[in-house]
Amino acid sequence: MKNVKMILATIALSAASFGAFAADVVTQEPAQQQAIGTISAQGGANLGSLEAQLNAKAEEAGAKSFRITSTSGQNNLHGTAVIYQ
């Protein structure tokens, strides 16, 4: 029983800390943040995978959030986003 509680506590803490580092997708320019650049990604099989690639690049750049500005393609998607901090 003690092991189960420890495992659940570990899962809860790791999920909470993961959310603290992920960049948020926004639909318009955040009021309290400044644009710090643009990023692009390609090779996404669907919009979800393209968004995940852009999210990873935004995190690498230290962004708090990003806004997808364009997507194109059919089976091999390309997208760009503005990153904010």
The verdict on pTM exceeding 0.85 is: no
CATH 3.30.1660.10 fits 2-84, yes or no: yes
Contact 25, 67 (CB under 8 A): yes
CB atoms near residue 40 (< 10 Å): 13
- The CA–CA distances, whole Å, from 45 to 23, 27, 36, 51, 56 equal 21, 22, 27, 11, 16
Contact 39, 66 (CB under 8 A): yes
> What's the pLDDT tens digit per position in 26-45?
878 888 899 999 999 999 89
Is the model's pLDDT at 82 over the cut of 80? yes
For residue 39 the two structure tokens come to 């990023």
Domain definitions of the chain by residue range: 2-84
